[in-house]
Amino acid sequence: MAYTKKWNIIVVDWSRLSRLTYVKSREKIKDVGRILGEFIIFLKENNFVKLPRVHIIGHSLGSHIAGFAAQTVKAKYNQTVERISGLDPAAPGFEYGNRTNERNARLDNEDAKFVDIIHTNGRILGMLNPIGHVDFYPNGGVTQPGCNSYFSFLDYCSHVRACEFWTASIVHPDAYTGYRYRSWKEYLDQKFHDGKSFPMGIKASPLIPPGSYFLETASEIPYVHYKTKLIDSL
């Protein structure tokens, strides 16, 4: 059954800035996040929204924009938004390269009451280190099935797979469940996963114990792996 809650969805179009060189786009994300945060403040002060109902979702640099937006709101009210979902947060300039280690210079788990991350291209275009309350690592979080990039340093297919997982989870909210382990190797070494699994995507919630979660997916939409318990809607 598809996820049927009703939402008001606002899409942030920063395409003119995002199409600059990566370095220049990265320089603009703090301003974009601040403007988004000010817009959320406007909505709150005019009684259009309450912070416990705000959920910000961002991909790549957009993940860090979400963090800056939430920081702007927190500076105003000393209160965080409810949830941020980071879809393969951008790594260059944040996890490697000319980077800063300051927590307020990127998305982290202090920016919202609940921060969930999906890692799909770690160590390349996306971050690999855990930065949320819960971090999901489909297929180990580095390269995704069906993404056969000739240039391992530019695996955009794996990078955007986080968005595809998220979209698919709206229609199949129970299709992706991860198990808590310390590493992908530890997950693979277990022939049977007897522990409790938790949902990745739209149904992820603060009820999930903090930690890193691993799962396998297939190479084609809806990416449900044969080891995953299928649901009727599939």
Catalytic residues: 60, 88, 159
Over the stretch 173-207, which tens digit does the pLDDT of each residue have?
888 999 999 999 999 998 777 778 999 999 999 99
Interatomic CA distance for residues 172 and 224, integer angstroms? 9
pLDDT value at position 2?
56
pLDDT band at 234 (very low <50, low <70, confident <90, very high): very low
Which is nearest to 170 in space by CA: 135, 199, 211, 137? 199
Which is nearest to 63 in space by CA: 42, 83, 82, 89? 89
Is the pTM higher than 0.85? Answer: yes
pLDDT value at position 229?
42
HEC assignment per residue over the chain: CCCCCCCCCCCCCCHHHHCCCHHHHHHHHHHHHHHHHHHHHHHHHCCCCCHHHCEEEEECHHHHHHHHHHHHHHHHHCCCEEEEEEECCECECCCECCCCCCHHHCCCCCCEEEEEEECCCECCCECCCCCCCEEEEECCCCCCCCCCCCCHHHCHHHHHHHHHHHHHHHHCCCCCEEEECCCHHHHHHCCCCCCCCEECCCCCCCCCCCEEEEECECCCCCCECCCCCCCCCC
Tokens of 135: 């971090």
**177 bridge partner residues:** 199
Interatomic CA distance for residues 58 and 72, integer angstroms? 16
CA dihedral 67, 68, 71, 77 (to 10 degrees): -120
Bridge-based pairing of strands 112-118 and 55-59 is: unpaired
Domains of the chain, start order: 15-215 (3.40.50.1820)
Q: What's the mean per-residue pLDDT of the chain? A: 88
Q: In this structure, are residues 229 and 199 in contact, taking their beta carbons and an 8 Å threshold? A: no
Percent of all residues in the chain with a pLDDT value above 90, rounded to a whole number: 74
Over the stretch 87-140, which tens digit does the pLDDT of each residue have?
999 999 998 876 655 667 899 999 999 999 999 999 999 999 999 999 999 999
Q: In this structure, are residues 206 and 132 in contact, taking their beta carbons and an 8 Å threshold? A: no
Interatomic CA distance for residues 209 and 15, integer angstroms? 36
